[in-house]
Structure 1
């Protein structure tokens, strides 16, 4: 059931992927990635948020999160490093190296299509090959996956993790990025999305039992059940009493356990999820606002509109118009 809810949320936030760079480097080398927000207009102009990721296909590298107390991470062949919040970071042949971000690399001629091949030869004997890509998604009204992920997610053994599925994805991305067959852009986009899902699942499986956050909450028998109920039936007239009865616990236990695990109270979470469901309906369909309000549990269009504007800063009609104009 954990993966079912995860899949539902990822569909609702319009996850989309792309591979942009195939990099060959020899030491000493360093590349500083700009903050993802500055790259949105160049990489995925229709996305609200940009996630950067890198796959080390041969050799070694170091990843450093800029302006963070976290220690640099050594990346071995098969490693996947992902920056869900889109933070400024560097990849280099030695830790703590810095360089000026080169935004111009992303302004490629319109007649060319990714992945773009880049060489960084420092003249040293140590050689590294890596693939760099992006994933776009929505942040508003509600994206619990991005909120729950740390600033840097490292999967150190991608070639051997689990049952080999991550390894197969990495190999497929490597093959597609270098063969340049017809349809390569679409294939790489889908592979990037699958890579993200597998990284998230691997991260979930590595969380300690005492971990908090939305991803950890899915594994909690009580909290996970409540989240499933709210996702399956957002239109129901839920109250703390009805949720507590479904969970066979007191209201006090329910609120305490849910808030500790997820970070917000159950009814606040329900409101967030209702707004996300409504945003999808507004973006992808022609249903009236009154119908959408009813579908997500509001008795009046006015109450729904007020809640939606509090969540997104836009009235439902304005949200729909903007998303249609963006080509969503």
Structure 2
């Protein structure tokens, strides 16, 4: 039986979240964000990779990558930077600033999100929530690899999508109320916002688009992905997988490779290594049991596959992960 491949990936890459800033701004103003790697240890300690996103609650602003044309953002819009690139938010296009890392080192006793006022004195003409999502990027995160440098969701495009509107309103209410447990609620809301944003992005993909997310939406390739994620330790062959999705061996191999960028069995091997990496990082299970859990009959065969795919032996990977936590 197949699984939900997107949910499986989100579980395996250890998604985490923090709603970190609440901006109250009045023109003229500009806020520059560094590469997420520069502030990751402060906002989400232990995360391999950090994605920054912004939700415009009221008013409008401009946002985009540094040295690239910005896009205008209005109330209800979400902009995210999945690859962790430095970027700018501002009251007008073309404004620049130097990132101030002191904002990320707020007193730990303060409840998140930290409130920051920028620009002229007086009532704010825009309010923006700024959050961070942490995840594993190594050894294999197919979702992260498929996301663009900038992900912009226009509020007008999903105004009839009640789930996303509800989540944004819930984040607004939780931020303004600042009740007990608010940080935890906002963290979970941030994760749910991310998943809904991915769903909206997938639904808006061009029919000719390729990549992992496009593969999820394909009838046959999506089914193949769900089957592989549902039973990653199974003794899959290309013939068996093709039969399960109702295609010939050659047709599935061609279509899967065209959309996903790699053959089905290579994808399965890389996903098994991601699952194994998570088990290794826990530091508890013997390597022989991890090998069996991800579909290998012997520890030696697993060691060879892991080293060939990841570039380091399983034991060395485990020690490196433990040392960084």
TM-score by length of 1: 0.92
Q: Residues of 1 paired with 2:88 and 2:42: CA distance?
A: 20
Q: How does 1:184-223 map to 2 (within 5 A)?
A: 184-223=182-221
Q: Residues of 1 paired with 2:160 and 2:312: CA distance?
A: 43
Q: Is the 8 A contact 1:18 1:192 kept in 2?
A: yes
Shift of residue 211 of structure 1? 1.5
Q: Is the 8 A contact 1:28 1:123 kept in 2?
A: no
Q: Residues of 2 paired with 1:291 and 1:149: CA distance?
A: 33
Of 288, 291, 303, which aligns to 1:290? 288
CA-to-aligned-CA distance 1:95-130 (integer Å, 9 cap, x gap)? 121101111110112322321111112359981111
CA-to-aligned-CA distance 1:131-190 (integer Å, 9 cap, x gap)? 111010001121111111111111111795343111111111112122221111111111
Q: Counterpart of 1:95 in 2: which secondary structure?
A: coil
Q: Residues of 2 paired with 1:150 and 1:76: CA distance?
A: 21
Question: Match for residue 142 of structure 1?
Answer: 140
CA-to-aligned-CA distance 1:278-320 (integer Å, 9 cap, x gap)? 1232234733211211221212212212222343344323333
Question: Match for residue 53 of structure 2?
Answer: 53
Shifted more, 209-218 versus 275-284: the winner is 275-284
Shifted more, 317-326 versus 104-113: the winner is 317-326
Change (3 A) 1:235 1:2: closer
Instruction: Report how many aligned residue pairs link the two structures.
Output: 325
**Cα RMSD (Å):** 2.2
Change (3 A) 1:3 1:72: farther
Q: Work out whether 1:91 is the aligned partner of 2:108.
A: no
Q: Is the 8 A contact 1:283 1:323 kept in 2?
A: yes
Change (3 A) 1:236 1:312: same
Q: Residues of 1 paired with 2:168 and 2:224: CA distance?
A: 35
Shifted more, 23-32 versus 126-135: the winner is 126-135
Of 173, 176, 179, which aligns to 2:177? 179
For structure 2, which runs of at least 5 residues remain unmatched after alignment?
none
Change (3 A) 1:167 1:248: closer
Question: Match for residue 10 of structure 2?
Answer: 10
Q: Counterpart of 1:218 in 2: which secondary structure?
A: helix
Q: Residues of 1 paired with 2:157 and 2:118: CA distance?
A: 25
Q: Is the 8 A contact 2:56 2:128 kept in 1?
A: yes
Q: Is the 8 A contact 1:84 1:150 kept in 2?
A: yes
Shifted more, 98-107 versus 245-254: the winner is 245-254
CA-to-aligned-CA distance 1:46-69 (integer Å, 9 cap, x gap)? 00000000011111001121244x
Q: Residues of 2 paired with 1:155 and 1:49: CA distance?
A: 22
Q: Is the 8 A contact 2:51 2:81 kept in 1?
A: yes
